[in-house]
Amino acid sequence: MLNKEIHLSSKIFENHNEKALRDGFGEGLMELGEENKDVVVLCADLKESTRCHWFADKFPERFFEIGVAEQNMATIAAGLGVAGKIPFISSYAVFSPGRNWEQIRTTIAYNDSNVKIAGHHAGISTGADGATHQATEDIATMRAMANMKVIVPFDYEEAKKATIAAAKIWGPVYIRLAREKTPEITTSKTRFVPGKSYILWESNPSTSSGRRKPQAVIIGAGPLLYNALLAAKELEKEKIGVVVLNSHTIKPLDENKIVELAKKYRAIVTVEEHTIIGGLGSAVAEVLAKHAPTAMEFVGIQDVFGQSGEPKELISKYGMGTKDIENAVKKVLKRKR
């Protein structure tokens, strides 16, 4: 059942509201702009699409339109970051951190400059724009970078909180944001602490004999977590109990919580709208290989590029739908036995 202690929305499975994560980012910037005059925003000719225009309209003296020059945007932000400002740079993830990866590495991360990088329209659900605009490797490239923190918000509310929290973390932070409207699951009261995961769902169904079925843990980040919740609900009907963990911070990973759950259940499924190489699944596997070797299955993009299509169709085609997660749980339970 849903973890009521963390104040989730009452409308999750039926008649739920939907809102885009980029709206949460934009509103987070507005709140930061009001409370901290050192917050500045730079954009690469996508201010409306990435919701930076709200900040630009209200704080024009602290907004910089760089144009289609993502490398310049990163380098300018690096200077601002070491000069006492808190710059946010905003673009599509395939362009930033995609196109300007080297500038982010050398001018921002290497200098531990206090820059926050917002990568929008990430994942395969960008849809009709196709593979060239579907950032599916960005978590891997950014978490491999020294000094970089990586946050992947679940929904609108969490995107707002992540944006505000990033400004209070010293050094480079990458915030990964999906494009499409997604169900509003968390609320303003749901806790959000960078580096600390939390349980969304926990079930312990019993058979008629009173013996519990084997259980697994689903660890996810980003909007695809909603499919994990749907899968958990369906699995419960089959007397298969799971725990769903929101691991919104991928670097630094909440190692203690993940190891604790792995030792308890001995079966892990990771869920992410990203290649299974180098992303959340890899990060979890690295921790468990060292501290608690565990049976694992990885739900994500299987080392291929995407293509044009409707977001929900693409999620299904590339094996990240609700049924795919259910099957992954059943598969990992068989391996556990």
Catalytic positions are 70
End-to-end CA distance of the chain: 24
**Ramachandran sector of residue 147 (left: φ over 0; alpha: ψ -120 to 50; beta: rest):** left
Contact present, 289 and 329 (Cβ < 8 Å): no
SS3 of 163-179: HHHHCCCCCCEEEECCC
Q: How is residue 205 annotated by DSSP? A: -
> Bridge partners of 135?
122
Contact present, 66 and 43 (Cβ < 8 Å): yes
Gyration radius from the chain CA atoms = 20
Torsion sign over Cα 18, 23, 24, 27: negative
Question: Which pairs count as long-range contacts for 287-295, CB under 8 Å and 24+ apart, including other chains?
Answer: 287/253, 287/255, 287/258, 287/259, 288/258, 288/259, 288/262, 291/255, 291/259, 291/262, 292/259, 292/262, 292/263, 294/262, 294/266, 294/267, 294/268, 295/266, 295/267, 295/268, 295/332, 295/335, 295/336
> Bridge partners of 182?
19
